[in-house]
Amino acid sequence: MCTFRDSMAKLNGLNAKVVGISVDQPFSLAEFAKANNLKFDLLSDASREISKKYDVLHENFVNVPGLTASKRSIFILDRDGVVRYKWVSDDPSKEPDYKKIEEELAKLN
């Protein structure tokens, strides 16, 4: 999230809107945004509905039965809401290729 925060000028130049989605509660997301000075929307998927629809829900996260979390993932949607790029990692410590994201965004302009 902080990499996106630090890249907002470039992303805005590519007509991108960044939205973070997490299964965390809204109050936790608000504190996270404040602590990290994030200026884009963070949405709570507390029901896990969005994570399930996009097939990015960790079931039994870190091998704890019943513990769920959203996988680290990036989706680029066009103006019509069609997914044009998808990156998903089962490893929460893995970062996406941010240059690739910029390249994919540039294709939509």
Domains and CATH numbers, the chain: 2-108 (3.40.30.10)
d(Cα 99, Cα 105) in Å, to the nearest integer?
A: 10
| pLDDT, position 96 | 95
| pLDDT, position 71 | 95
Digit-coded pLDDT (tens) for 97-106: 999 999 999 9
d(Cα 61, Cα 91) in Å, to the nearest integer?
A: 11
pLDDT surpasses 90 at 109? no
pTM, entire model = 0.86
Digit-coded pLDDT (tens) for 39-63: 999 999 999 999 999 999 999 888 9
d(Cα 79, Cα 54) in Å, to the nearest integer?
A: 18
> In sequence order, which residues have a C-beta less than 8 Å from that of residue 105 and are 6 or more positions away?
11, 14, 15, 16, 76
| pLDDT, position 55 | 96
d(Cα 92, Cα 70) in Å, to the nearest integer?
A: 9
| pLDDT, position 51 | 96
Digit-coded pLDDT (tens) for 18-34: 999 999 999 999 999 99
